[in-house]
Amino acid sequence: MSIPTKFVPKAVEDKWYRYWLENDYFKSTPDKRMPYTIVIPPPNVTGVLHMGHMLNNSLQDILIRRARMQGFNACWVPGTDHASIATEAKVVEKLKTDGISKNDLTREDFLKHAWEWTNEYGGVILEQLKKIGCSCDWDRTKFTLDSEMSKSVINVFIDLYNRGLIYKGYRMVNWDPQAQTTLSDEEVIYQEKSGNLYYLSYKIEGHDESLIIATTRPETILGDTAICINPKDDRYKHLHGKNAIVPIVERSIPIILDEYVDIEFGTGCLKVTPAHDPNDKSLGEKHKLDFIDVLNPDGTLNSFGLHYEGQDRFIVRKSIVKEMESLGCFVKKENHLSKVGLSERTNAIIEPRISEQWFLKMKSIAKPALEAVLETNEIQLIPKKFKKTYRHWMENITDWNISRQLWWGHRIPVYYYGKDNDDFVVAESIEKALELARVKSKNLNISISDLRQDDDVLDTWFSSWLWPISVFDGINKPNNEEINYYYPTQDLVTGPDILFFWVARMIMAGYTFRDKLPFSKVYLTGIVRDQKGQKMSKQLGNSPDALGLIEEYGADAVRVGLMLSSVAGNDLLFDENLCKQGKNFANKIWNAYRLIDGWKIDSKIDQPIASKDAIICFDNTFNKALETINDYFEKYKISDALMTIYKLLWDDFCSWLLEVMKPDYGSSIDKVSIDQIKHQFQKILKLLHPFMPFISEEIWHIIKQRNISDSLVISSWPVFEKYDKIVLKNYENVKLIVGAVRNFRKENNLRQRELLSLFYSNSKTIEFSEIISRLAQLDKVVFSDENNQVKGGVFRIGTNEFFIPLDRKIDSKNELNRINNELNHLEGFLNSILNKLSNSQFVKNAPNAVINLERKKASDTKEKIKNLKSRLKNIK
């Protein structure tokens, strides 16, 4: 036999992927069918495939492949995200290794480098997705910086501005003094660091008395504009309404009252520096304090720093303490553990800094998005537990800071024409801006050279929140055929970590720009962790090489490995052993095919009854499994669906069906049987296809029969047919009997192939006895009520008693033990039932069905006990 005993994935994966592409099986265009659409969560354009992507995209592929087989017009739109911050940082770093500093480049030059980088590395990840079998419509590939996509973003900005939802405001941002840029909150890593807490005294105006504040950042003293105390703090009641004097600058500042101050912490007196601390900023706004910024962008003090101007903030921290000492204002210092924000990129200590940013008002657009998930259930989150998190965020939503001080991204379409803060217009092009500026300023002399576009770009999410709409160009051409057909999409598969950043905002965008939901189901995967429960990351180096895994185990196996452990919303502890399990499974499938393929067919042989019965049993089993699998899919229990298929193939198909139908060595199989087996196998391959597309397609093509469509990928999902519960019950019984005979052999050290006979009593017929004979190596399975006369072994299944004559000493000790154990168990069980039934409360309160059930249990158990006891007597 030339077929290898082990499945070799490499040999088939590329072949079939190419074949699918060549035949345009993944392509979708609007037609009469119902659409089933998924938009991919666009990975970073310069990213490389990691385990999270594998999980995510395998799931999407499973959903889309099944939908395709179900007859939907399946459309999976792929693409990549420009990922402003991450990409810009990478480019900056790369330039640095080439000896180029970003600060030395013009915006245009920098963007040229960035595009070069993007064109070189961009899309690598999409190629990697193909390796795991993703059936995206690649002709639709989008990039968030494509001109069409850009236009959508700009149009949306203009639209929102015109609706009065976008405004300019001041906000405290994370400033990286080393890179001289703002960072998003996500790029700030908080670390516990031990530092000092300095106690310093401030004079009270018009008094001899002082008050003592505690601070970790003495260098910001020069920016103090108030002292804050808790109004309930009895120690300081006498200070209400007074002023204090900031040492060194000798500035008089008010003593304000706010419950924000923790009486317990430090001295209960807080110095307020609104320009350098987010909390102080809100105090400053609330109490209308002055904002004094004492820092330059590079982290040195500015002119407000007086004689410290030009010195680094950390040097000033030390010297200012010394100066305070000499002034007699220093009281003491304590060790203090505090969290310090560090830049993820440069490791520099972040300075909170107030700057001008663009904001989007969220309250009004959040409303329909909140209702859709919590009230109408138009959009479902899977699992449901995320609804609460979603609500919490949406109800407390704050305005969205959409500007970033970066170059790589969609530049904010705001053009300034004058010196005033309000001298700007919002327009899609500079020409248009000129027109508007002339109108707004009533100055026709303004020319293009007078216009200056805002330097900032938009937050990356400000483009990705449009993704389900913009990939179909639904912003620019709101009535085009594609958007009307594909939108709203069906399922979105993504991680819970971007529920707010992305999912919630897409929902808001959907209702804001199309008045419709963007998708109806959101499947939130877990985060892939290693076995210690740590998040997989490059820094930790605990992330397995995704492509390496495919290389080692095969794409199908890796997909199975991931799916076996992935319950929606639960983090999964990734274990390479799961891939091994997937590989073993692939091999099992492969060998099932090898077995079938190796049989000689003889069309003159009649089909044995056992084979005919086995097919009946399997067919019913299949339909029951199909019902379960479909139900699991409905509930997005993908791993359960896979496990059901796994067991269907491994246990029911291989261990039972094939074992029954396998012709004896050297014999041939009849035509009917082989056709039926292939038919059943093909149905399983269909179920398998979404999970294991490559191996299923490979085997499909080898065993396919003439009247069957070309490719599995476009074949139809099996249609559920009603199954016969009685058949299944009898089949279960068969399995129990076979198992019992096998046990009997084992206990008595009988050889596998030694023929035995089986007699049974208490039941006139045993269904599918031919199957039992074949699998348990019996010459007959017959009814007899006289089996007790002969020597042999006995076992019981349900109420039926079985007897195997054996002309040889059998080990009755085992049997005695077993019967006694069972008797004990049954008697205890019976007792508990009888207790229950004699409990008047139970009889009074429990529903009739439950009571009847208990009665039936009691009588069944009594019967069993009676049988066992008579058995016991006979053995003795």
Check binding of 857 to RNA (CB under 7 A). Answer: yes
Residues 743-772 contacting RNA, CB under 7 A: 743, 746, 752-753
Nearest distance, CB of residue 436 and RNA, angstroms = 35
Q: What is the DSSP string of 42-91?
A: PPBTT----HHHHHHHHHHHHHHHHHHHTT-EEEEE-EEB--HHHHHHHH
Instruction: Pick one of 845, 852, 859, 874: the residue that binds RNA (CB under 7 A).
Output: 845
**Cβ proximity to RNA, 106 vs 396, nearer residue:** 396
- Contacting range for RNA; rule: CB under 7 A; set: 63-71, 429-437, 662-670, 764-772: 662-670
**Cβ proximity to RNA, 51 vs 153, nearer residue:** 51
Closest by alpha carbon to 509, among 156, 166, 162?
Answer: 156
- Contacting range for RNA; rule: CB under 7 A; set: 25-33, 96-104, 331-339, 511-519: 331-339
Check binding of 853 to RNA (CB under 7 A). Answer: yes
Residues constituting the chain = 876
Check binding of 190 to RNA (CB under 7 A). Answer: yes
Instruction: Pick one of 584, 628, 711, 762: the residue that binds RNA (CB under 7 A).
Output: 584
Check binding of 594 to RNA (CB under 7 A). Answer: yes
**Cβ proximity to RNA, 75 vs 382, nearer residue:** 382
CA distance 227 to 428: 47
Nearest distance, CB of residue 850 and RNA, angstroms = 5
Nearest distance, CB of residue 450 and RNA, angstroms = 39
Nearest distance, CB of residue 445 and RNA, angstroms = 46
Burial category of 626 from C-beta neighbours within 10 Å (exposed 0-12, middle 13-18, buried 19 and up): buried
**Cβ proximity to RNA, 345 vs 583, nearer residue:** 583
**Cβ proximity to RNA, 473 vs 659, nearer residue:** 659
**Cβ proximity to RNA, 138 vs 260, nearer residue:** 260
Residues 483-522 contacting RNA, CB under 7 A: 496-497, 500
CA distance 661 to 674: 9
Q: What is the DSSP string of 771-832?
A: HHHHHHTEEEEEE-S-GGGSSEEEEEETTEEEEEE-SS---HHHHHHHHHHHHHHHHHHHHH
Closest by alpha carbon to 64, among 144, 129, 148?
Answer: 129
Q: Which two tokens stand for residue 129?
A: 């997705």
Dihedral over alpha carbons 296, 299, 305, 306 (to 10 degrees) = -80
Check binding of 533 to RNA (CB under 7 A). Answer: yes
Q: Quick one: the chain helix, strand, coil %, rounded to 5?
A: 50, 20, 35
Whose tokens are 């699992």? That residue is 383
- Contacting range for RNA; rule: CB under 7 A; set: 72-80, 145-153, 265-273, 413-421: 265-273
All residues at 6 or more sequence positions from 404 whose CB lies less than 8 Å from its CB, including other chains: 84, 85, 182, 184, 456, 457, 458, 459, 460
Instruction: Pick one of 9, 223, 268, 299: the residue that binds RNA (CB under 7 A).
Output: 268
CA distance 641 to 479: 39
Nearest distance, CB of residue 862 and RNA, angstroms = 11
Check binding of 547 to RNA (CB under 7 A). Answer: no
- Contacting range for RNA; rule: CB under 7 A; set: 13-21, 108-116, 458-466, 845-853: 845-853
Residues 2-21 contacting RNA, CB under 7 A: 5-7
Instruction: Pick one of 70, 155, 178, 216: the residue that binds RNA (CB under 7 A).
Output: 216
Residues 35-54 contacting RNA, CB under 7 A: none
Is-cis flag, bond preceding 43, omega within 30?
A: no
- CB–CB of 517/546 below 8 Å? no
**Cβ proximity to RNA, 472 vs 590, nearer residue:** 590
Beta bridge partners of 75: 37
Nearest distance, CB of residue 58 and RNA, angstroms = 16
Residues 800-839 contacting RNA, CB under 7 A: 825-826, 829, 833, 836, 839
Check binding of 445 to RNA (CB under 7 A). Answer: no
**Cβ proximity to RNA, 570 vs 800, nearer residue:** 570
**Cβ proximity to RNA, 266 vs 718, nearer residue:** 266
**Cβ proximity to RNA, 243 vs 565, nearer residue:** 565
**Cβ proximity to RNA, 413 vs 526, nearer residue:** 526
Strand duo 528-529 + 572-573: pairing:
parallel
Nearest distance, CB of residue 339 and RNA, angstroms = 5
Instruction: Pick one of 345, 583, 624, 689: the residue that binds RNA (CB under 7 A).
Output: 583
Sign, Cα dihedral of 67, 69, 71, 74: positive
Check binding of 121 to RNA (CB under 7 A). Answer: no
- Give the CA count within 13 Å in the CB-facing half-sphere of 104: 7
Q: Could you give the string, one character per residue 611-650, with x where binding to RNA holds by CB under 7 A and - elsewhere?
A: -----------------------------x--x--xx--x
CA distance 778 to 773: 4
Residues 727-746 contacting RNA, CB under 7 A: 738-739, 742-743, 746
CA distance 414 to 852: 77
Is-cis flag, bond preceding 383, omega within 30?
A: yes
- Contacting range for RNA; rule: CB under 7 A; set: 334-342, 366-374, 718-726, 784-792: 334-342
> What number of other Cβ atoms are within 10 A of residue 32's Cβ?
5
Check binding of 592 to RNA (CB under 7 A). Answer: yes
Instruction: Pick one of 179, 436, 595, 703: the residue that binds RNA (CB under 7 A).
Output: 595
Burial category of 332 from C-beta neighbours within 10 Å (exposed 0-12, middle 13-18, buried 19 and up): exposed
Check binding of 278 to RNA (CB under 7 A). Answer: yes
**Cβ proximity to RNA, 89 vs 586, nearer residue:** 586
Check binding of 724 to RNA (CB under 7 A). Answer: no
Nearest distance, CB of residue 163 and RNA, angstroms = 25
Check binding of 201 to RNA (CB under 7 A). Answer: no
Tell me if residue 14 falls in helix, strand or coil. helix
- Contacting range for RNA; rule: CB under 7 A; set: 31-39, 299-307, 708-716, 850-858: 850-858
Q: Which two tokens stand for residue 587?
A: 């091999």
Q: What is the DSSP string of 153-212?
A: HHHHHHHHHHTT-EEEEEEEEEEETTTTEEE-GGGEEEEEEEEEEEEEEEEETTSS-EEE
Nearest distance, CB of residue 169 and RNA, angstroms = 16
All residues at 6 or more sequence positions from 747 whose CB lies less than 8 Å from its CB, including other chains: 793, 811, 814
As a whole number of angstroms, the longest Cα–Cα distance in the chain is 120
**Cβ proximity to RNA, 89 vs 775, nearer residue:** 775
Strand duo 489-494 + 519-524: pairing:
parallel
Check binding of 349 to RNA (CB under 7 A). Answer: no
Beta bridge partners of 859: none
Check binding of 567 to RNA (CB under 7 A). Answer: yes
Nearest distance, CB of residue 565 and RNA, angstroms = 4
Check binding of 862 to RNA (CB under 7 A). Answer: no
Check binding of 261 to RNA (CB under 7 A). Answer: yes
Using CB under 7 A as the binding criterion, the count of chain residues that bind RNA stands at 91
**Cβ proximity to RNA, 139 vs 170, nearer residue:** 170
Check binding of 393 to RNA (CB under 7 A). Answer: yes
